[in-house]
Amino acid sequence: MAETALGDTCTDGFEWPSPPERIPDWAFEEASHWKGLDDLDLLAKAEEACGRSVEIVTLPLPISIWGLHVARGQRARIYLNSLLPEIWKRFAAFHEIYHLVHHTRGEAFWSGTATPMTSFEYQADMFAWAAVFDEWTEGVSW
C-alpha cells in the first residue's frame, strides 16, 4: 500500500481522515479502558461489554466500507477491511465495538428515533479516535 499523509487520498482510493480538532472528554474517558489492548484482550473486553460472543473477521471489502458489524442473538461478528493499514483497522474495530456496546437496538430501530444517524456515527468515531489517538500520534505500524 502506498504511504500517504493522513487526510490524503491514497492511490488505492482510500481517504485517510485527519483527527478532529477536539475529541470530547467523554470519549477519552470511555476509551481509557480500551486503549493499548492487544487483539485478544480487545475481543475479550468487547464480549464482556456487549454480553455476546464476538468474532472479528478481516477480509477484503470495497474501499467505501472500513468495517461493519452484524449481531444476532448472543453472537456478533465485526468485519474489517483487510486492505486497510493496521492503524485504520484498529480504528474501524473500535468504531464497530462502540456500536455493539452502545447502539444495541440496530439501525432500523435507531433510524426511527428523532436522533439523526450521523449522531451515532459521530459518537462511534469520537470513541475510535480517542482509543487510537496515542497509537496514531506515535505512527505505530501504519
d(CA 26, CA 40): 25
**DSSP secondary structure letter of residue 17:** P
pLDDT per position as a tens digit, 86-132: 999 999 999 999 999 987 655 444 445 544 445 778 999 999 999 99
Domains of the chain: 25-136 (1.10.10)
pLDDT per position as a tens digit, 28-49: 999 999 998 998 999 999 999 9
pTM for the full predicted model: 0.80
Give every strand in the sheet of 75-81, ordered side by side. 53-59, 75-81, 67-72
Between CA 131 and CA 135, with CA 134 as vertex, the angle to 5 degrees is: 90
Q: Residue 30 CA to chain centroid, in angstroms?
A: 14
